[in-house]
Amino acid sequence: MKMKHPSTLTSHRSKSKTPIIAILGRPNVGKSALVNRLASSQSGGAIVADESGITRDRTYRYGEFMNKRFQVIDTGGLVFDDRDGLFASQIREQALIAISEASAVILVADGMSGLSSMDLQLSEFLRKEVVRDNIPVHVAINKCESEKTGATQAAEFWQLGLGEPHPVSAIHGVGTAELLERVYEDIFPKEVKEDDEVADFLAEFGITEDPTTDELSHLSKRKQRAMRHLKNNLEEDEVEDEMLNVAIIGRPNVGKSSLLNKIFGDNRAIVSPMAGTTRDSIDAIMEKPSSDPSLPPTLYRFIDTAGIRKKGKIAFGPEFFMVNRALRAIRRSDVCLLVLDATAGVAEQDRILAQKISDDGRACVIVCNKWDAVVDKKDDTYDKAVKYVREELPQVRWAPIIFISAETGQRVNKISSAIDQAVVAHRKRFTTAILNEVLREAVMWQPPPIKRSGASAKIYYCNQVSTRPPTIVVFCNDPNLVGDNYRRYIDRKFREALEGFTSTPIRWVYRGRRVRDVRRAGQGMMNGDPGDGGSGNNFPFPHAN
């Protein structure tokens, strides 16, 4: 099977200065295990199991070695005959894109099973194509659990013609530090030379160490700008924590990977009509320029996840871990894109995901895909569809709904602005005065119902205590007297009155407080203070006037 040369592909090399290491190899040699060993734990590990073909798309992890940050790309098992594996051609394409991004390549082989014809095919390709482009290649012989026998196991892999084979054990960490040292020498020399350039540049102005403010003030403005520009360009890109995490979640085969590819304009994930094609969560980073030229661009990390089936259909094993990874993606996200199939309607799995989004306090945008495939559309089809989704997914009734076609690109461009609005809403904070004004109006319009026992909730005041999601504490005489229906009523009234509370759940905390404590704090009761006869007409809120 002839493979395209990486230079014929569109380069997807990140603008970041962080070097990238691509991990390649035939199926089931332990590539994902090695990625987990090299990458930091905060990046989230790849799924590892004794089953070939677990990794299909290319996935990205962050790592650090000798105070230098790098990225590792995990790829699917490479085979050169389409008959040898499902999605073989798509996996090859993903691997080629990974090579086009890489600063170095690690070829992983299996030391227990020994040298195979597939290994020889891979080495031939790498010698002809990758080495020719001056991309360094390192050979890691995995599953060499013993340092004593590792060299013997690795010896036959000299036949690959790619230099010294390094015996390692990805599971136990044997030899991985030595391997990373060799790779480190290849991917960081440019950084060292640039550091020397900075020193030479500063020496021209008589500065031998990092410049102080006083030293900078003696330089001309032109030289100050040049120095700052040079130093800023040579600094490490510590951007991971500044990214906005967007999780793309949904049932299998609703078009999550197609949506990711349409957003990025490349085959970031393998797309197939077969349900369950995506086997792991895929991180893809996008840079969006700021409307203000003086501000840095906004960075988005899109996380494409495996589809979640009914619990009874999920067997313990790789799929169990894939689903667990998808649920973890919700927790690590700022915004969730809940993708539905407009031709299939809402299923139980969609309701479970919606509940998970709400429980975890994530912002959400509902994306109804395959809208182009809905037949016999009429003037009221859109309104009926919106009403249907609202009724079927009350857990995220506050989320905006966008009807798109990932295949044709219809309305996909609206997702970006919806994400931005969701992020703002998720971090929104209102003053106590505004919140209590809304609460007062809501209670005056509809007081809490009286229980059969004759008891009734007395609402005192509220205060927003945090964001992500907005969390509001409501003080009352007894939280048990505030029923679920009345709590939903309060939530609805706040959303109607405050435009900023769209796209995000509001976490409500009802807390009991004694009347005398409320009076001592200078607060009043929304639905009547026993001290004023319970008329409900006095609202002692001087700060809200």
What CATH code would you report for 432-544?
3.30.300.20
The dihedrals phi and psi of 380, each to the nearest 5 degrees, come to: -100, 5
pLDDT band per the 50, 70, 90 thresholds, residue 200: low
Tell me the CB-side half-sphere exposure of residue 505, using CA atoms within 13 A.
Answer: 21
Residue 290 pLDDT > 90, yes or no? Answer: no
Residues 6 or more apart whose Cβ sits within 8 Å of residue 454: none
pLDDT, greater one: 87 or 159: 159
Report whether 342 contacts 403 (CB < 8 A): yes
pLDDT tens, residue by residue, 301-312: 888 775 454 444
Residue 510's closest CA among 493, 490, 530, 529?
A: 490
Question: Nearest-5° angle of CA 37, CA 157, CA 144?
Answer: 40
Say yes or no: domain 241-426 is CATH 1.10.10.10. Answer: no
Q: At what angle do helices 432-445 and 484-497 cross, to 10 degrees?
A: 120
Q: What percent of the chain has pLDDT over 70?
A: 68
Give the pair of three-digit tokens for residue 65. Answer: 């070695």
pLDDT tens, residue by residue, 518-539: 666 555 556 655 444 343 333 3
Q: At what angle do helices 189-203 and 176-187 cross, to 10 degrees?
A: 50
Q: Where are the beta strands (DSSP E) in 148-274?
A: 165-167, 244-250
pLDDT score, position 108: 94
Sorted by where each begins, the domain ranges of the chain are 6-187, 191-234, 241-426, 432-544
Give the pair of three-digit tokens for residue 481. Answer: 């007297």
Helix ranges (DSSP H) in 360-483:
381-392, 414-426, 432-445
Give the pair of three-digit tokens for residue 348. Answer: 């139980």
Whether the ω angle into residue 469 lies within 30 degrees of 0, i.e. cis, is yes
Question: Nearest-5° angle of CA 113, CA 51, CA 108?
Answer: 45
How far is the CA of 471 from the CAs of 189, 330, 334, 426, in angstroms? 49, 19, 15, 10
pLDDT score, position 433: 93
pLDDT tens, residue by residue, 230-251: 444 433 333 344 678 999 999 8
CA–CA separation, 326 and 341 (whole Å): 18
pLDDT tens, residue by residue, 223-232: 555 545 444 4
Average pLDDT, the chain: 76
Report whether 44 contacts 281 (CB < 8 A): yes
Residues 6 or more apart whose Cβ sits within 8 Å of residue 377: none
CA–CA separation, 31 and 25 (whole Å): 7
Question: Nearest-5° angle of CA 213, CA 218, CA 220?
Answer: 110
CA–CA separation, 483 and 427 (whole Å): 27
CA–CA separation, 529 and 521 (whole Å): 14
Domains 6-187 and 432-544 share a fold: no
DSSP type of residue 126: I
Residue 82 pLDDT > 80, yes or no? Answer: no
CA–CA separation, 300 and 337 (whole Å): 13
Rg (CA), the chain: 29
Residue 248's closest CA among 319, 333, 320, 313?
A: 333
pLDDT tens, residue by residue, 429-462: 999 999 999 999 999 999 999 988 889 999 999 9
Which sign does the torsion angle of CA 374, 377, 379, 381 carry?
Answer: negative
Residue 54 pLDDT > 70, yes or no? Answer: no
Which residue shows structure tokens 């989320």?
A: 399
Mean pLDDT, residues 264-284 taken together = 52
Residue 14 pLDDT > 60, yes or no? Answer: no
Q: What is the chain's length?
A: 545
pLDDT score, position 129: 66
Residue 120's closest CA among 71, 159, 69?
A: 159
Q: SS3 string of 463-522?
A: EEEECCCCEEEEEECCHHHCCHHHHHHHHHHHHHHCHHHCCCCCEEEEEECCHHHHHHCC
What pairs with residue 137 in β-bridges? 105
| Encoded amino acid at 362, one letter | R
Sheet holding 507-512, edge to edge: 459-466, 471-476, 507-512
Q: Which CATH fold topology does 6-187 show? A: Rossmann fold (3.40.50)
pLDDT tens, residue by residue, 315-370: 434 444 455 666 777 888 999 999 999 999 999 889 989 999 999 999 999 999 99
Residues 6 or more apart whose Cβ sits within 8 Å of residue 482: 448, 457, 459, 474, 476, 510
